Structure 1
């Protein structure tokens, strides 16, 4: 099983948590982005650079993910594709996307996107908090423990 990271928008602190976990467990960790991202020189950690383009990293992850893999992403449509392939999707804030919550998350995303395109300022996400980091690390540890 592999941990895939939608790395273009993944916070550095979350990548560091992932690097430590991959070193500790030996789980394969692949960062996918359209720009080069430095990774530790560890055999099970790699960086896959994709061409520039809208959703290029998401599309590459969706092509490669298999059942049982874990994908770290904030992208709701990618999370839906991952779940449809019987893999797990986890946000950098520690929210586990599931079959039970992904449709509601997609609907909210689409609603907010419609609002923004109508000129309504919806604001962005808040900064990653300490509790977000802890929630992420806890969910990651749960997945790793099941391995």
Structure 2
């Protein structure tokens, strides 16, 4: 018997928590919101909160240790996405774009280049602002992913 689906959310800076709840309720998939501090969650049996220590990467470690083939991880953190993919999880960014085993290497390389540029004093912009289209793409992508994994 395979373990039931679950959604783990790297929640501290996640802009799509309400969308996650909406899809999880519709698909009856439990969600765990993982954060370093208290985050308000709906009072619902499918939604749980896990508050981890404020140690470096504590939330990432908690999520990565529990990620597996029955898990959807929601994160914008490229290194956490890589760890979860290696554990067999499906990983979705808050903008609705999936992290995959074929795309994660390029994402890690780009992250390293950007970090080097910032360390060298270059003024580079951050990620583009989160838009309504991103929210819509995320809703659709999460729903489609859960349907596919439930088969």
For the superposition of Structure 1 and Structure 2, which TM-score range results when normalised by the shorter chain?
over 0.9
In structure 2, the partner of 1:100 is 102
Normalising by structure 2, report the TM-score: 0.92
Instruction: Tell me how many residue pairs correspond in the alignment.
Output: 145
In structure 2, the partner of 1:2 is 6
In structure 2, the partner of 1:74 is 76
2:93 counterpart (91, 94, 112): 91
> How big is the alpha-carbon RMSD for the aligned residues of Structure 1 and Structure 2?
1.0
Provide the secondary structure at the position in 2 that maps to 1:5. strand
Offset from partner CA, 1:33-61 (integer Å, 9 cap, x none): 00111111111101100001221111110
Pairs within 5 Å for 1:1-147: 1-11=5-15, 14-146=16-148, 147=150
Gaps of 5+ in 1: none
8 Å CA contact 1:22, 1:29 repeated in 2: yes
Q: Which runs of 4+ in 1 moved over 2 A?
A: none
Question: How far apart, CA to CA, are the structure 2 residues paired with 1:21 and 1:138?
Answer: 9
8 Å CA contact 1:23, 1:42 repeated in 2: no
Normalising by structure 1, report the TM-score: 0.95
Question: How far apart, CA to CA, are the structure 1 residues paired with 2:115 and 2:70?
Answer: 30
Provide the secondary structure at the position in 2 that maps to 1:31. strand
Gaps of 5+ in 2: none
